[in-house]
A = this chain, B = another copy of it.
């Protein structure tokens, strides 16, 4: 149950700004599949255009971090925010970019450990060591 309508392909065809983004998602990903996030965001063409443009730029293949690493970071953030949809979509994306079960297992362990030690540090209110200064 969403708070907005999910746009069908037929509806997207009738709105040029939405159609243009959907077309670019399909071309960029070389897949006909448009996931529900974009179908919901289509209600707001400006947000759809801005979000897709940013995502395309940030998650693109050629960068200082490889695409799989970016997906792992995305999953870690999504877990911390409790965003179920995001966890599913980026876990699927990570698998599509070659994440092995062993890598998923280590990601799981690091996420668990980070959340645990974050909580320990916060409970104890540990002051930043001057050695960490830039």
Residues of A within 8 A of B (CB): 1-6, 33, 35-37, 40-41, 43-44, 46-47, 50-51, 54-55, 57-59, 63-65, 69-70, 72-89, 91-92, 100-129, 131-134
Contact = CB atoms under 8 A, between A and B. Distances in A.
Contacts of A131: 33, 35, 92
- How many subunits of this chain does the assembly comprise? 6
Given A41-B124, A119-B112, A122-B79, A132 B92 contact: yes
B86 A117 contact: yes
Given A57-B46, A92-B132, A118-B78, A108 B123 contact: yes
A113 B55 contact: yes
Given A87-B123, A111-B120, 11 more contacts: A5-B134, A36-B129, A47-B109, A65-B110, A78-B114, A83-B121, A85-B127, A86-B114, A89-B129, A92-B131, A111-B123
A65 B129 contact: no
